[in-house]
Amino acid sequence: MAVYADPGWRPLFVTTDGVVLETGGMLSHGAIVSREYGIPAVTGVRHATRQLHSGQWITVDGKNGVVSWTWKESTTDRKN
């Protein structure tokens, strides 16, 4: 999860299970690298870095553009 991803972040994609970015679209660097590695990604998620926090369980559904998270026994969904 980040505001954006640039080419210098490419090595980090190898160690992640999903990508959530506040900016970008289907042709952004983060989306393209995610597809190359087969990692689900959702871009253009407004205020993601304010809404998602350490300790939360996050599910990234790149096919449908949905990021779901669980926090203190409650679940919230955001459709991109």
pLDDT digits (tens, 9 = 90+) for 59-70: 999 999 999 988
Region label for 24, one of left (φ > 0), alpha (ψ between -120 and 50) or beta (otherwise): left
pTM of the full structure: 0.81
Third-level CATH fold of 7-79: Glucose Oxidase; domain 1 (3.50.30)
Provide the residue ranges of all domains of the chain, joining segments of one domain with +.
7-79
Q: One of 10, 23, 29, 80 is an active-site residue; which one?
A: 29
29 part of the active site: yes
Reported as a single tens digit per residue, the pLDDT across 13-41 is 989 999 999 999 999 999 999 999 999 99
Strand partners, 78: 67
Q: What is the predicted pLDDT for the residue at 76?
A: 56
